[in-house]
Structures are given as structure tokens and as C-alpha cells.
Amino acid sequence: MAESAPQSVLVTGGAGFIGSHTVVELLQAGHAVTIVDDLSNASPKVLDRIARIVGPEASARCTFHEVDITDEAALDAVFVEAEAKAAARARGGDESRPPFDAVIHFAGFKAVGESVQKPLEYYSNNLGGTLSLCRVMRAHDVCSIVFSSSSTVYGDPDEVPLTELSPKKMATNPYGWTKWMIEQILTDLAAADERWDVVLLRYFNPIGAHPSGLIGEDPKGIPNNLVPYVAQTAVGRRDAVHVFGDDYPTPDGTGIRDYIHVVDLARGHVAALEWMVGRHGVEIFNLGTGTGSSVLEVIRAFSEASGVDVPYVIEGRRAGDIARNFADASKAERELGWKAEFTLADMCRDSWNWQSKNPEGFE
């Protein structure tokens, strides 16, 4: 990847699973980071762990604000403070600099099942937070945004691999609709005002953890997603993995997904951020590996990585699940010069390293 000028980046949801890994990669690439997170689904301990990974020089470029982005006044205050710092850096104010060069927007509720129970909370928080963020950005002349979207917008695909031109389909739950709708909101914004520069990153299934074992996924309650459940089973917190269906039209009958190491995903954000400089409009990138793995392959890979024979039971299908999805990630490689490098074995090794060193997560 070419050397790129350091940027000042606001990261909403920067204390969460993908956010924290992205903050590490941004700091290690020389950028300055302002994290905004309300800690509703993240631990404050993450901040100290990030500092331990990147060391004192890089962590001096990181600041944190405990702010809920739906609180527009509080968010505005973060921009005002950053603006004052940018002005001071521009020595004497001969040059008016925006408070941030770009925003990476992760903040949002993300539990599929919960979104079905609490649609109003999901729409209010995810859409409301994005709208207030964009209003504050516009008011301060910050118009570059990278959005944390999902392959869920492709719904149940007619064919795989999925390219960025594959059709968006109906979402099956409010969480999925919020991703779908925020993509549309940002697209409309860029169409209406040519200052905006929008990158929509569609993640496939992020798993794994930082190789240091200091940060990783720490779901509250019973995990909804496969790999955290497998990891908690391996460490003895759960009895057995429930495999949701073995009668799909796939080689072993279980669902196929494109699992991607969270560090690869984080680096995809850095690549997108550096690629965006000087551009306008909307661009979409799939972030996946291009390879699908079945549920049973994941359990097997995790058992090998951990040395624990992870027990599982076959159950019925989970409502809303699809048989398979995986990415065609060639656009990101072509345009961003980014490609996933870690294998499924690496993902399981790092996930196990995190889980075994932190059996109760950050607590």
C-alpha cells in the first residue's frame, strides 16, 4: 500500500469489536483517532488494551469521548473541540481546517434477534444516530464518511459469489433494514451535495481477534453468532454448539459463510480511508475473503486450533438464515489494493487465543 498522509479520523463505535481493531490499525498506520462511543455494548477497558497494543507514541494520537451519537449537542461539542485543536495546529489560524478529515461510522445496535423484538429502538438508534452524525458533519464541513455496512443487504442471493453489483434484496429483520436504509440515506446525501464522499463497506462474517489476545469480541449474554458461541463452548461456558440445520443444499448440509479475520477487515478500512482522499460520490466495496466455509468446517477448524474437541448438536434451521453467501472481493483488491490475508485457521487460532486468555471477555 502506498504511503499516505496522516489523517485525523473520527471513529464512532470505536470501542466495539470491529471499531477497536480498526482504531489499532489506524494508529499503527500513523493516523490520529478520536473515538466516540457510548459504551452501551463495549467495555472501557478496551481503551487501555488499545494503548498497550500500539504503544505510547501512537496512543498519544488517540482520544476518547463517552458520547451517544444520537445526542447531537454532545456530538457537536466533540467537533467544536477538535476544530479548536485543528486551528491551534494550523498556527495562528492562517488556514481554516475542518476538525476531522474523515469519519468511520460503526456505532449502532447489531443484534438481529433483539432488533425483531425492539424495532423502534433499532430504527431510532441506528437511523437517528446516523442522521445526527451527518448533520453535525455537514455543519463542520466534514463530508467524508466510511460506513460499516453488511452483506445482509444482499438478502438471500440468487447466485454467489456476490459482487457489489449484485442486487440488494429485502432485509429479513430491522437490524438488516437499518443497514439497508443507511446505505440509501448516505447515497442520497452524496447525490444532493457534491462535497460528500461516501464509502459503503459491506462486511461478510468478521471473526477472530487481535493476535495479541488483548482485544476481541465480547458479546453480552448468549452469543447469537457462530464463532463466539464455538469459542465459549471450547472454553467451557456452553455445553455444545447448536448447528442450525444440516439440510441446506451445500456439500455437508450446513450453512456456508465468508468468514473474515477482523484484523483484515480493519485494514480494509484504512485502505478505504486512504483511497478516498480527493474523491467525491459513493463507492461500495465488499470486504470478504472470497471463500465460503460451512458451519461444520468452522467447528472442525476451531477444534484443531484450540486442541479442544468442540461438542455440537444438529438442530433445525434458524428463521431468516440463508444457505450460503460469500464475496467476490476483487473490486477491493483492484481499487484499494487490499486483500484478506488470514486463513480460517488463523482466525480460529486468534479467536481461541483471545477467548482462553479472557474467558469472561473484558470482565
Residues that bind ligand UD1 (CB under 6 A): 112, 150, 152, 176, 205, 224-226, 229, 241-244, 255, 257, 295, 318, 320-321
Q: Please, are residues 333 and 327 in contact by the beta-carbon 8 Å criterion?
A: no
Q: Please, are residues 247 and 318 in contact by the beta-carbon 8 Å criterion?
A: no
CB of 123 to ligand UD1, least distance (A): 16
CB of 126 to ligand UD1, least distance (A): 13
Quote the Cα angle for 107-161-165, to 5°: 70
CB of 74 to ligand UD1, least distance (A): 28
Q: How many whole angstroms separate alpha carbon 101 and alpha carbon 63?
A: 15
Q: How many whole angstroms separate alpha carbon 245 and alpha carbon 226?
A: 13
CA distances from 9 to 23, 26, 38, 123, 325 (A): 9, 9, 18, 26, 32
Give the torsion sign (CA, 69, 115, 168, 17). Answer: positive
Terminal Cα-to-Cα distance of the chain (whole angstroms): 37
CB of 178 to ligand UD1, least distance (A): 10
CB of 41 to ligand UD1, least distance (A): 13
Residue 4 or 225 having the CB closest to ligand UD1: 225
Q: How many whole angstroms separate alpha carbon 109 and alpha carbon 280?
A: 28
Residue 207 or 276 having the CB closest to ligand UD1: 207
Residue labelled with grid coordinates 438508534: 125
Q: Please, are residues 142 and 76 in contact by the beta-carbon 8 Å criterion?
A: no
Q: How many whole angstroms separate alpha carbon 216 and alpha carbon 241?
A: 20
What type of residue sits at position 346? D
Please tell me whether residue 178 adopts helix, strand or coil conformation: helix
Residue number with the shortest CB distance to ligand UD1? 255
Q: Please, are residues 354 and 348 in contact by the beta-carbon 8 Å criterion?
A: no
Residue 72 or 297 having the CB closest to ligand UD1: 297
CB of 170 to ligand UD1, least distance (A): 13
The conformation of residue 317, written as its DSSP 8-state character, comes to P
Residue 134 or 265 having the CB closest to ligand UD1: 265
CB of 58 to ligand UD1, least distance (A): 28
Whether 203 is a known active-site residue: answer no
Active-site hit among 122, 123, 154, 175: 175
Residue 48 or 252 having the CB closest to ligand UD1: 252
Residue 168 or 280 having the CB closest to ligand UD1: 168
Grid cell for residue 157: 442471493
Please tell me whether residue 66 adopts helix, strand or coil conformation: strand
Please tell me whether residue 283 adopts helix, strand or coil conformation: strand
Residue 257 or 261 having the CB closest to ligand UD1: 257
Residues involved in catalysis: 175
